[in-house]
Amino acid sequence: MAKRSLAVIVLAAGQGTRMRSSLPKVLHEVAGKAMVRHVLDAAVDLKPQRSVVVLGRGMERVASAVAPAAIAIQDPPQGTGDAVRAAMGALKGFVGDVLVLYGDTPLLTPDSLKRMLAARRAKSDPAVVVAGFTPADPAAYGRLLLDKRGSLQRIVEFKEANAEERQVRFCNAGLMVLDGARLPKLLKQLSNDNAKGEYYLTDLVHLARAAGWDCRAVEADAIDVMGVNNRVELAEAEAHLQNRLRRAAMENGVTLVAPETVFLRSDTNLGRDVVIEPHVVFGPHVRVADNVVIRAFSHIEGASIASGATIGPYARLRPGADIASDAHIGNFVEIKNASIEAGAKVNHLTYIGDARVGAKANIGAGTITCNYDGFNKSHTDIGKGAFIGSNSSLVAPVKIGDGAIVAAGSVIVRDVPADALGLGRGQQVEKPGFAARFRSQKQKQKQKQKKK
């Protein structure tokens, strides 16, 4: 059974200079998650006993992002074979299968990895299994050369391939599964006798064949093994993953009115019979229950939305927004760190922050909770069934009791008891005839200016 155990090595020491960024390449996000985390999460389904991420010196940010995986340092970087050597210290005594992945392949799927692992555990007992793919344009990819029995003979780099070999469209994706019992012997034989002076993992195929061991290749979907080396490819990976997420949502009972305009995150959790209108953007940590309607041009992050609620259009839910069942959040409304209880309505041009809005309360257009004094955030509590008139400012900390009414245009600085009226306006004054006198005066002034 020990031979059936699995270790995962993720190579992530590259600086990614083509990204033109101070952020390490593997920390660039696709659908809101760092690329290297996508890779590790794809491998989780295989239940590895050990996981090791190979980094370069000074990559503490990446080390933090991949925790609790073990870290191996490749210093200085001397190729992919050298990177696997660096990881072997963390795999001391391990004799199971070793899956080698790359931290810049965020579209990997568990199914692709499982096919590789099944090939490694086949009766032929290959020492090396390589993932291959057939791209639309093979370009300068390395070619996988198979014999008549389907065994992998060797990997030839494009620059070293002859005309016949370049006609082969089956290309090297870089991913491998290796027999951990035979791997140390193969790594010892690696040479850096090449133009770059590096140790190439691809040489393991030649070394294994020389030892009389079988090698195999498994075809993966070209999108699954897509690597990201620059911002253009990052955008392409984002587009592919968004399409996957949208399709999965629709297959699970979500209606996307215009799928191509909706942007999801890897952790977006959507219930059944949710309807999402065009141009909705989800940030991280969003949970949406069944039978919710999210109208067009809304932006939602860090929020929880209960069944039957309606959001938008043009709504913004920020972290800590907790929207209860059958609540209505309307156009140009922003909710932050606030609970909107069952059946409450916040329908127009309103900001609710650091607050509670009680069940079936009604918040009028233009209302704001004044929650920040420049130093501290304070809480506003609005009771159930309360009615807040339009254009009201509730200066926190303040409490509006159950069933209370706040008159339109009020500035409320003290608590309003239950069922009371809170009125905080300046006194209205009328001056008869003022408007006519004002117009006459202004007209005379204009005439004088013209004469000058």
**Predicted confidence (pLDDT) per residue in 207-219, tens digit:** 999 999 999 999 9
Does 51 fall in a domain?
Answer: yes
What is the domain count for the chain?
2
Shared domain check, 366 and 258:
yes
- Asked if residue 2 has pLDDT above 60, the reply is no
Dig out the tokens for 195 from the structure: 């133009």
Contact criterion met (CB below 8 Å) for 297 and 282: no
The helix or strand, by DSSP H or E, that contains position 389, with its residue range, turns out to be none
Q: Which amino acid is at 4?
A: R
126 and 214, same domain (yes or no): yes
The last residue of a domain, from among 159, 190, 219:
219
For range 6-11, the mean pLDDT: 98
Beta strand ranges found along 180-291 (DSSP E): 215-219, 255-256, 269-270, 275-276, 281-282, 287-288
Domain containing 389 — which CATH number?
Answer: 2.160.10.10
Q: How far, in whole angstroms, is CA 2 from its chain's centroid?
A: 35
Q: State mean pLDDT over 156-165.
A: 90
38 flagged as catalytic: no
Q: Give yes or no for residue 71 having a pLDDT over 70.
A: yes
- Residue 364 — very low, low, confident or very high, per pLDDT cuts 50/70/90? very high
Give the separation between CA 307 and CA 326, rounded to whole angstroms: 7
The Cα–Cα gap between 125 and 116 comes to: 13
Mean pLDDT, rounded, for 77-99: 95
Catalytic residue among 38, 240, 328, 348: 348
Task: Check pLDDT > 80 for residue 26.
Answer: yes
SS3 (DSSP) at 11: strand
Residues 278 and 304 placed together within one structural domain of the fold: yes
User: Is the pLDDT higher at 2 or at 274?
Assistant: 274
Give the closest residue to 327 by CA, choosing from 301, 303, 296.
303
Confidence grade of residue 428 (pLDDT, cut at 50, 70, 90): confident
Domain annotation covers residue 448: no
Asked whether residue 40 is domain-assigned, the answer is yes
Q: How far apart are the first and last CA of the chain?
A: 104
Is residue 437 included in any domain, yes or no?
Answer: no
What's the pTM value of the predicted model, to 2 decimals? Answer: 0.91
**Same-domain check for residues 235 and 139:** no
- Other beta carbons within 10 Å of 371: 23
Q: What is the pLDDT of residues 240-263, one digit of tens each?
A: 999 999 999 999 999 999 999 999
Lowest model confidence (mean pLDDT) among 64-68, 76-80, 225-229:
76-80
| Residue that terminates a domain, selected from 164, 188, 219 | 219
Using the 3D structure, point to which of 187, 219, 251 is the last residue of a domain.
219
CA distance 128 to 214: 7
Domain at 32, CATH number: 3.90.550.10
Residue 175 in contact with residue 102, Cβ under 8 Å?
yes
Strand partners, 309: none
Q: How far apart are CA 108 and CA 92, in angstroms?
A: 27
Does 89 score more than 80 pLDDT? yes
Same domain assignment for residues 280 and 171: no
Contact predicate 10/36, CB 8 Å: yes
Per-residue pLDDT for 191 more than 80? yes
Average pLDDT of the segment spanning 431-436: 95
Residues 112-148: pLDDT tens digits?
A: 999 999 999 999 999 999 999 999 999 889 999 999 9
Full domain range(s) for residue 18: 2-219
Q: Judge whether 84 and 128 are in contact, CB under 8 Å.
A: no
User: Phi/psi of residue 87, each to 5°?
Assistant: -80, -15
